[in-house]
Amino acid sequence: MTEAGPAPARVLAAGSAWGRVNLLGEHTDYNDGYVLPTVVPLCTIVELAASPDGRYHARSATLSEQAVFDGPDAKTSGFARYLAGCLRALAERGIAVPPVSIAIRSSVPIGSGLSSSAALEVAFLRAVRGLLGLAIDELEIARIAHRAESEHVGVHVGIMDQMASSLGAPGRMLFIDTRSLHFEQLPLPRNCAVLVVDSNHPRNLSDTPYNLRREECRIAARMLGVPALRDVRRIASVSALPAPYSKRARHVVQENHRVLEARTAEAARFGLLMNASHASLRDDFEVSIPALDALVQAMQRQPGVHGARLTGAGFGGACVALVDSTELATARAGTLADYAAAGYRGTAIT
């Protein structure tokens, strides 16, 4: 060791992954439905080096936190849960990852609904793929990451986040049928850009009614006699359900219709679908909060904004708007000013 400290460990493999924002299709993925996310220009980078002592060492430069654990089944907390979950999901496929040092840095904000956890999982799995020379494609990366978070971390998310992070591309929308896992890269509406603003009201899905909403949807599907709410075609079918199941089902059925229409919609119509989605998430799915409503209203008032909605699971996080490309900077500044006038402080992501 010199006065400058020990030499950094040699990087053996690295992986990176985008964060994502969902344009339409909220709370439809775990109902076997349709989603329409796109990536944001923020990413997570994971580098792997040799372990100094036969244990797993993980360090997040972003969080200024570190963790040490003995193996996939070790009790972990915080960001290390997602790494251990990935190791367990790989082990279930017969893939053993030797102890490594894991260095993480990320520009994807945590708790903003931009899938920081999925970006971490996908980046880590890509690094492991490189380390071990695994023959697994991007869809399989998404499947493993999804199992890690849903089964091993215990946040029962749908597969949209992981597929968007592993298969998405800048400037494109990713249409996903979450039952068949069929996906298509689609262009954004012509001459449009995506504005994302963080409400600065973070949330952790394990501390919200997220899993309760999943259960309510499952019960509603059972009452309707279908495998999942994706199989309900007519909105009139849900009207006989008791509350809150009728409201939850109505949102999912209508949201699926919105995604299918949006695939080929022009900007103005796409924006109206986003506005309707937010109203449904607020009133029928009940996952909005006053700060998100205020932020969406601030976005919708700006020149050039076609529509806006909360994005992610709700209960906090970010909002997204579809904006004329030439008006993006003006819409961003106006949104932040109007949101501040309502008593909040937002942070522009794009």
Q: Catalytic residues, which ones?
A: 161
* Cβ 30 vs Cβ 160: under 8 Å: no
**Long-range pairs, 176-183, Cβ under 8 A, ≥24:** 176/29, 176/34, 176/35, 176/36, 176/37, 177/34, 178/28, 178/29, 178/30, 178/32, 178/33, 178/34, 178/35, 179/32, 179/33, 179/228, 179/230, 181/139
* Cβ 221 vs Cβ 32: under 8 Å: no
* Cβ 127 vs Cβ 47: under 8 Å: yes
Element (H, E) at 275: helix 267-283
DSSP state of 208: T
The amino acid that residue 124 corresponds to is F
Q: Strand, coil or helix: what is 234?
A: coil
Distance of CA 280 to the CA centre of its chain: 19
Token pair of 55 as six digits: 């244990």
CA atoms of 120 and 137, how far apart (whole Å): 17
Q: What is the DSSP string of 102-171?
A: EEEEE-SPTTSSS-HHHHHHHHHHHHHHHHHT----HHHHHHHHHHIIIIII-----SHHHHHHHH--TT
End-to-end Cα spacing for the chain: 43
Instruction: Return the sign of the alpha-carbon dihedral for residues 244, 215, 146, 48.
Output: positive
Number of alpha helices (DSSP H) and beta strands (DSSP E) in the chain: 9, 11
